[in-house]
Amino acid sequence: MEQTKIEAICQSCGMPMLATEHFGTKSDNSPSADYCCYCFQSGHFTHDMSIEDAIESNVSYMDGSEKIDGRTLTKSEAALRMHVQFPSLKRWSAHESTHKEYFKAINRAVDYINEHLNQPVNLYDLANIVNISEFHFHRIFKALVGESPGEYIQRLRLEKAIFKLQTTKLTLTEIAEQIGYQSPHALSKAFKKRFGTSPSVFRAQPSDLSFPINEPEFLLIEPEIKEINPKKVMTFQIANPFENKDAFVQGWRKLVQFMNVTGIPDATHEYLSLSRDVSTITESSKCRTYVCISTNPNIKPEGEFGQQIIAGGLYAVFTYKGAYKNLESVYCSIYRNWIPNSKYELRDVAFFEKYLNTPDVVSQDELLTEVYIPVSIL
């Protein structure tokens, strides 16, 4: 008797099931046509894992025989295909959809906070913006960001106050207005509670933006002053970038995979990173650092992958040649030496870096990075 041909895909690992013996089993030990015998037995998944773990596991078992259109797939190509396929599989689709929507909502809330620090921002408004109840928004925000919305906003405002105290001659009243405090008294009270000293005493102390005194300095060349248009970028936030040495590599890999799925030719991208904090002021684990790839209006935010606008306007652009690990020295020299002796002052927008080549193409000593510092004429 001819065996009936079966065409089924395991809704956990994506592998084809060509015969009933490939099927997993339900709780009553009857065959499950949804899942294979490796993933699902007696009504339970054999491994409790995330979608990323599942993809990594599948790739680790590849033996080099996997092909598409007659061409053998590399492991990175196979992983990319799985990142596209797996979210549509039954095991992952509901979880992945909810997970992505939460990330998308919190990204929107964080972007709104970043752009409205000088205005009143409350929990009710944020929850309405992302269309989540206040009760759930507060808990989701804290789970993904690590701070409550109120703690996050307060910290950003006070860190911005430190930066302005160190880099400008603005009065305390002017600083309070620019960072969302109703009065200089309110700012002073919050500042002293957080840092144990008043803003005026803090400003009187030598700071050099808290760079270590023995930080080697980069011999700056004169920057090029450029006026740029606003730039839309897709972003992926780097978690704890200064403590986890692999964080940038992992972040770039994820963002590049996401952009490749869109089908946009790689040659049209610009590769950037965006920093909304100064690492010597903000605790390293809380620095808002993003890897970015320039994009077009047709690409939409999805899950962990957000979308931001890099502000247009005037920038001092410093071209640095050398290893990324020495970029801190570049910033040290810019803030210590160039800004105080220039005819420019800092604008209140994020600085960013543009990468002109990559470590997989040239040696560390040959890496070229453009550092964009937002400025205005004094």
Tell me: pLDDT of 81 over 50: yes
Q: Among 40-44, 193-197, 217-221, which is the least confidently predicted range?
A: 217-221
pLDDT of res. 94:
63
Is residue 47 helix, strand or coil?
coil
C-alpha neighbours within 13 Å on the C-beta side of residue 104: 12
Q: Using an 8 Å Cβ cutoff, are 168 and 345 in contact?
A: yes
Question: pLDDT for 3-58, tens place per residue?
Answer: 455 578 899 888 888 888 899 999 999 999 999 999 999 999 988 777 777 888 88
**In the block, which residue shows the tokens 């009933």?**
20
The residue-averaged pLDDT of 213-237 equals 79
Nearest CA among 276, 275, 349 for reference residue 314: 349
pLDDT of res. 334:
87
Q: What is the pTM of this model?
A: 0.64
pLDDT of res. 236:
92
Question: pLDDT for 264-295, tens place per residue?
Answer: 656 668 999 998 887 778 887 788 899 999 88
Tell me: pLDDT of 173 over 60: yes
Range 89-205: architecture per CATH: Orthogonal Bundle (1.10)
- Calculate the dihedral angle through the C-alpha atoms of 258, 261, 267, 268, rounding to the nearest 10 degrees: -80
Q: Using an 8 Å Cβ cutoff, are 318 and 371 in contact?
A: yes
- Percent of the chain beyond pLDDT 70? 88
The residue-averaged pLDDT of 298-302 equals 80
Query: Measuring CA to CA, how many Å separate 92 from each of 51, 84, 95, 96, 237?
Result: 7, 12, 5, 6, 23
Question: pLDDT for 302-334, tens place per residue?
Answer: 888 889 999 999 999 999 999 988 888 888 888
- The span from the CA of 368 to the CA of 324, in Å, is 9
User: Which band of pLDDT confidence, cut at 50, 70 and 90, is reported for residue 213?
Assistant: very low
Tell me: pLDDT of 1 over 50: no
pLDDT of res. 321:
92
Q: Using an 8 Å Cβ cutoff, are 268 and 260 in contact?
A: no
**Any idea what DSSP says for residue 181?**
-
- Percent of the chain beyond pLDDT 90? 31
- Give the orientation angle of helix 90-115 with respect to helix 123-130, to 10 degrees: 130
pLDDT of res. 175:
92
Question: pLDDT for 150-161, tens place per residue?
Answer: 999 999 999 999
**In the block, which residue shows the tokens 């803003």?**
199
pLDDT of res. 313:
96
Alpha helices in the chain (DSSP H): 51-60, 75-85, 90-115, 123-130, 134-145, 149-167, 172-178, 184-195, 199-204, 247-262, 327-333
Nearest CA among 233, 373, 242, 352 for reference residue 292: 233
pLDDT of res. 25:
94
User: Which band of pLDDT confidence, cut at 50, 70 and 90, is reported for residue 214?
Assistant: very low
pLDDT of res. 264:
62
- The span from the CA of 108 to the CA of 130, in Å, is 7
User: Which band of pLDDT confidence, cut at 50, 70 and 90, is reported for residue 215?
Assistant: very low
- The span from the CA of 318 to the CA of 223, in Å, is 5
Long-range contact set of residues 75-82: C-beta below 8 Å, sequence gap at least 24:
79/55, 79/257, 80/257, 80/260, 80/261, 82/14, 82/55, 82/58
Domain ranges of the chain: 1-48, 89-205, 224-377
Q: Strand pairing partners for 44?
A: 41
Q: What is the length of the chain?
A: 378
pLDDT of res. 2:
47
Tell me: pLDDT of 73 over 80: no
Taking domain 224-377, whether its CATH number is 3.40.50.300 is answered by: no
The residue-averaged pLDDT of 337-357 equals 89
Q: What is the pLDDT of the chain when averaged over all its residues?
A: 84
Q: Strand pairing partners for 25?
A: 31
**Any idea what DSSP says for residue 29?**
S
Q: Among 228-242, 250-264, 334-348, which is the least confidently predicted range?
A: 250-264
Amino acid identity, residue 166? Q
- Quick one: tokens of 7? 């065409």
- The span from the CA of 339 to the CA of 40, in Å, is 62
Is residue 358 helix, strand or coil?
coil
The residue-averaged pLDDT of 206-233 equals 70
pLDDT of res. 166:
83
Q: Using an 8 Å Cβ cutoff, are 15 and 23 in contact?
A: no
Q: Using an 8 Å Cβ cutoff, are 332 and 353 in contact?
A: no
Nearest CA among 111, 122, 170, 171 for reference residue 309: 111
